[in-house]
Amino acid sequence: MDVIRASEEATKTQVRALYREGRGPARWLRSRLGTLGRNTFYVAIGQFVHLVLAIVLTPIAARVLGDSDFGRYSLASTLMYFVFLFSDLGLNTWITREGARDAAELERLFPAAFAVKLCLLPPLLVLLWLATQLTGLEERSAQAVAIFGFYGAASSLWQLALAVFRSRETMKYEPILFALEKTLITGASLAVFFLIKGGLLGFVLTFPAAGLVTLIVSLWILHSRFLRLRLAFRPSQWFGMVKLAFPFGLSALLATVYNRVDVILLTAMTTPAVVGWYSAGYKLLTVTNLIPTVVATATFPRFAALQSSDRRQLSRVFWDGMRLLLAICVPMVILGTTLAKPITLFLFGAEYFQTAPAIQILIWACGIVFFNIYLTGFLGALGYQNRVVGFQVAATVVNVGTNLVLIPHLQHLGAAAATVVTEGLMFALQFGLALRRLVDWEPLRISVPLVAASLSLGLCIALTTAHQWNVVAVLAVGIAAYVAVFLLSGGRKAFSLLST
C-alpha cells in the first residue's frame, strides 16, 4: 500500500505541474480520474495515435506494394518480433514489476538490463542473417528481414526505458514516444511511396530509422527525469536477473509464436499473394489490440503493488477492467462480422477481396484477445507467469497443429480459424486460473445495457446498409447509436476503472 500511495503522490505532483492553471480539461482530469484513470488516459493517447497512423499506413502500403510485396513485408515484420523477444528475455516486464514494488531498485537494475541487451543484439542480428541465407529465402524477402532486424533491436532498447516509466506509474511520456515513432514511420513511408518511389526496401528502411530516433529521445527523458544513465557489465548479476525475468520472456516468445506462426506456415505452404490477403486483414485487426494493451499497461503496476493486499480490493480492480473491455469488444465484433466486405473494399481495394472472409473469422479472435492480453498481465503481475508459460506451450502446440491441418485445405481461412481456436483455449485456461486462485466472482452488472446497445447497433447496420450508405457513415452511425444506448441504459458502471 505504501507503494501505491507513493506512486499516487508522484503522479499528482506531475499532473499539477503539467496543468498549473487548472482550467478546462485539466480540472476534469484531476477531479474525475484516479491514478489508474490518468495512466489509462496517457497510455490511450499514445496508442490512439498508433492506431490512427496504422489504419492510415496499412491500406496505403497494401495498395502501393501489391499483395506479393505486402506479403514479404509481413514476413519481415513477423520475424522482427523474434529479434525483439530474444534480446529482451522478459527484462522489460520484470523491471516494470520490480520497480513498482521498490522504485529504488531501478538504479541498480536498469544499467544491468541495458548492458545485457547491448551484448545480445549483435549475435542475434548475425543469426537472423544466417537464417535468411540457409533457408533459401528469396533476395527481396531476405533484405527486408535483415532491415527489420535492426528495427527490432532499436525497439527492444527504447522499450526498456518505457518499462521504467510504467513502473513509476508516470505514463505521460508513453504517448510522446509512441506518437514520435509512428509519426516518423508514417511520414517517411508516404514520402518513400509518393515522392521517391522507393518500393519495398525504401519502405522497410523507415522503421529502423524511426526506432533509432525514438531510442535517443527515450534515453534523454530517462536521464533527465528518472535516473543516471550508465552500464553495468557484471555477468554475475546478469545471470540472476535473466533467470528471474526469463518466465516473462518465454511467455512473450510463446505468445509471438502462436500469434505469428500462421504467417510463417502460410509462407511455406502457399503463395506470397495468399500471405498478403491474410496479412492485410490480420494487420488491420491487430491494431485493435492496442485497446486492451492500454488497460493492461495501466493496471499492471497496480496489480503488482496489490499482490499482498486483500482479495476484495484486487477483485474490484480486476472486474472493473473486465467490464470495460467487454463494453468495447462487443460492438467491435459485431461491426467486423457484418461489415467485413465493405471495409475491405474501402481500405484495400478489389485486389484484396479474399481478405473479407478472413476478417469475419479473425474478428472473433480479436474479441477473445481483448481479455487474454489483460489476463496475461494480471497473472504476471501477481507472480503466476510460470503458469501462463505452461498455458502458452499448450496453445502453441494446438495452434501449430491446427494450422498444419487447416491451411492445406482452407489456406488463409484455415489460419484464421486456427487463431480463434488458440485464443479460445488461452482464455479458458487463464480465466479459470484467475477465478480459482485470485479473485472472487462478481456479477457483470452491465448485461442490460450491453444487450440493448448491441440490438441498437444491429438495427442501425441493417437500416443503413439497406439504403446503401457509405461504410464510413454506417460505422459512425452504428457506433454513435451503441454508445448512446449503452450509457442511457445504465452502462456507466463499465467505466468504473477510470475513477480508481
Give the pLDDT confidence score for residue 1 in this predicted structure. Answer: 40
- Name the band, by pLDDT with cuts 50, 70 and 90, for residue 171: confident
What are the tens digits of pLDDT across the range 45-57?
A: 777 777 777 777 8
> Does residue 473 share a domain with residue 414?
no
Domain check: are 463 and 476 in the same one?
A: yes
Confidence of residue 499 (pLDDT cuts 50, 70, 90): low
Domain identity same for 388 and 426: yes
Of 483 and 127, the structure prediction assigns the larger pLDDT to 483
Q: What is the mean pLDDT of the chain?
A: 81
User: What pLDDT does 349 receive?
Assistant: 81
| 91 neighbors 242 (Cβ within 8 angstroms) | yes
Percentage above 90 pLDDT, the chain: 17
Angle, CA of 3, 377 and 492, to the nearest 5°: 85
Tell me which of 442, 461, 481 is where a domain ends.
442
C-alpha cell at 150: 535492426
pLDDT band at 11, cuts 50/70/90? very low
Amino acid at 230: R
> Does residue 308 register a pLDDT over 50?
yes
**Neighbouring C-beta atoms of residue 179, cutoff 10 Å:** 19
Q: Which domain holds residue 452?
A: 443-500
Please give the pLDDT value at position 83. 74
Distance separating alpha carbons of residues 227 and 250, to the nearest angstrom: 28
Residue 467 sits in the same domain as residue 376: no
Q: Name 55's Cβ contacts closer than 8 Å, sequence gap at least 6.
A: 284, 287
Task: Based on the fold, state whether residues 358 and 463 are members of the same structural domain.
Answer: no
Single out the residue of 124, 387, 104, 90 nearest to residue 248, CA to CA.
90
State the pLDDT at residue 159: 86
Backbone angles phi, psi at 351, to 5 degrees: -60, -25
One domain for residues 217 and 310: yes
262 has a pLDDT exceeding 50: yes
Q: Are residues 139 and 14 in the same domain?
A: no
Dihedral sign, Cα of residue 307, residue 288, residue 419, residue 333: positive
Same domain, 401 and 457: no
- pLDDT interval class at 7 (50, 70, 90): very low
Chain segment 343-394, per-residue pLDDT in tens: 888 888 888 888 899 999 999 999 999 999 999 989 988 888 889 889 988 9
Give the cell for residue 209. Answer: 530509422
Q: Is the pLDDT of residue 434 over 80?
A: yes
44 and 8 assigned to the same domain: no
Domain count, the chain: 3
Range 116-134 average pLDDT: 82
The pLDDT of residue 5 = 45
pLDDT, tens only, 440-468: 887 777 788 889 999 999 899 888 888 88
Q: What is the pLDDT of residue 32?
A: 53
The pLDDT value given to residue 373: 92
**pLDDT at residue 179 above 50?**
yes
The listed range with the strongest mean pLDDT (132-136, 142-146, 201-205, 217-221) is 217-221
pLDDT digits (tens, 9 = 90+) for 235-253: 777 788 888 888 888 887 7
pLDDT-based confidence at 401, cuts 50/70/90? very high
pLDDT band per the 50, 70, 90 thresholds, residue 71 = confident
Residue that wins the pLDDT comparison between 495 and 18:
495
d(CA 38, CA 19): 13
In a shared domain, residues 363 and 499: no
C-alpha cell at 206: 523507415
Against a cut of 0.85, is the pTM above it? no
Last residue of a domain, one of 426, 442, 458: 442
- The predicted pLDDT at position 10 comes to 43
> pLDDT tens digits, residue range 92-114?
888 888 887 777 788 888 888 88
pLDDT bin (cut points 50, 70, 90) of residue 34 is low
Domain-ending residue, one of 417, 442, 467: 442
SS3 178: helix
**Which among 91, 106, 113, 34 is positioned nearest to 302, based on CA atoms?**
34
Q: Say yes or no: 392 and 485 in one domain.
A: no
Residue with cell 504467417: 263
Residue with cell 503466476: 384
Are 368 and 481 in a shared domain?
A: no
